[in-house]
Amino acid sequence: MIYGERIRFRHMERSDLPRFVDYLNDPDVNWGLAVYLPLSMAAEEQWFENMLKRPAAEQPLAIEVHEENPQGGEETWTLIGNCALLDIDWRNRSAELGILIGEKDLWGRGFGSEAMRLLVKHAFETLNLHRVWLRVYETNPRAIRAYEKAGFVMEGRQRQAAIKNGNYIDVLVMSLLREEYSAVKE
């Protein structure tokens, strides 16, 4: 487990897959993602099997949020999404990041930026990377703001690089360097 303040990361389990099929088939969720076709449970299971063959550091992490139990007793953790380091380039110590919070009711409560901060901490302090970067659609201001809050800076714009709902949109590239992370983490 990797613990943050209100969230934690654990490895994804096969039993999580139905939730992710629901998330990824929800148009409110997937319009910010590269997903554009309905997703079946069978395809998701195949994705999971292939994912297990990838290097351990690149396997997605499930994001869980801690829920207070008013009666006390055992603490409960609820799945809200996942995040990952994709295609780690070990020579240049650089990796692309991705995140999905599928529980729409929880958007705007800081979990996305907290998850990014925790993933970045893992990337720099555990995996010893030098640079992390991501791609985000220009039409996704919520994500852009969450990334800015986690310290990411705008690096470039791939003009009309994606088509969404019949319109070409720009894909923005944002990144965070290790030295910038060290300056903002306090």
Ligand X SMILES: CC(C)(COP(=O)(O)OP(=O)(O)OC[C@H]1O[C@@H](n2cnc3c(N)ncnc32)[C@H](O)[C@@H]1OP(=O)(O)O)[C@@H](O)C(=O)NCCC(=O)NCCS
- Interaction with ligand X in 131-150: which residues (CB under 6 A)? 136, 140-143, 145-146, 149
For the CB of residue 107, give the shortest distance to ligand X in the complex, in Å. 4
Q: Which stretch binds ligand X (CB under 6 A): 5-13, 70-78, 94-102, 161-169?
A: 94-102
- Residue 99 engages ligand X in binding (rule: CB under 6 A): yes
Q: Which of residues 52-91 bind ligand X (CB under 6 A)?
A: 81
Q: Which residue has the tokens 């692309």?
A: 96
- Using CB under 6 A as the binding rule, whether residue 112 contacts ligand X is answered as yes
Select 62 or 101, whichever has its Cβ closest to ligand X.
101
Strand 167-177 and strand 131-137: pairing?
antiparallel
Size of the site for ligand X (CB under 6 A): 22
Closest residue to ligand X using C-beta atoms? 112
Distance from C-alpha of 161 to C-alpha of 109, rounded to nearest angstrom: 30
Complex with ligand X: residue 12 or 29, whichever CB lies closer: 29
Rule CB under 6 A: say whether 100 interacts with ligand X.
Answer: yes
Closest distance to ligand X from the beta carbon of 91 (Å): 26
Cβ-based neighbour number of residue 112 at 10 Å: 26
CB of 36 to ligand X, least distance (A): 14
Cα separation, 145 vs 131, whole angstroms = 19
Is residue 9 part of the contact set for ligand X (CB under 6 A)? Answer: no
SS3 readout for 124-160? HHHCCCCEEEEEEECCCHHHHHHHHHCCCEEEEEEEE
- From the list 20, 111, 152, 181, which residue makes contact with ligand X (rule: CB under 6 A)? 111
What is the C-alpha to C-alpha distance for residues 151 and 46, in angstroms, rounded to an integer?
A: 35
The helix (run of H) or strand (run of E) holding residue 118 is helix 111-121
